[in-house]
């Protein structure tokens, strides 16, 4: 079942990043959020945050040096794009 609610994307991203900051800091990684605080979503917050936590967690676990940037932005058609970029090995 979906539990829809309205909330700030920026605040959701910050919350997920805060949970992983101790691990990132222990590894010497920079972990930042780049998202305007003007984007609000109407989705199942729990499910979205679970997916975000998994993506950010994987980036934190598998990045040895450098930085992880979590960003959110509005794109064409009113959609929202969320990305997790890291400085880990690319194939």
Q: How far apart are CA 9 and CA 7, in angstroms?
A: 6
pLDDT band at 76; cut points 50, 70, 90: very high
pLDDT band at 52; cut points 50, 70, 90: very high
- Return the beta strands (E) in the chain as ranges: 4-8, 30-34, 40-44, 67-74, 80-86
Q: Which pLDDT does position 91 carry in this prediction?
A: 58
Give the predicted TM-score (pTM) of the model. 0.90
Residue 90 has pLDDT above 70, yes or no: no
Q: Rounded to a whole number, what is the distance in angstroms from the first to the last CA of the chain? A: 37
Q: Which pLDDT does position 1 carry in this prediction?
A: 87
Mean pLDDT, range 3-31, rounded to an integer:
96
């Amino acid at each position: 079942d979906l539990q829809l609610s309205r909330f700030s994307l920026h605040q959701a991203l910050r919350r997920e990043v805060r949970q992983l900051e101790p691990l990132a800091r222990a590894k010497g990684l920079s972990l930042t959020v780049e998202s305007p605080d003007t984007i609000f979503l109407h989705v199942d917050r729990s499910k979205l945050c679970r997916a975000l936590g998994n993506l950010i967690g994987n980036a934190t676990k598998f990045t040895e040096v450098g930085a992880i940037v979590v960003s959110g932005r509005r794109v064409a058609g009113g959609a929202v794009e969320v990305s997790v970029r890291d400085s880990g090995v690319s194939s």
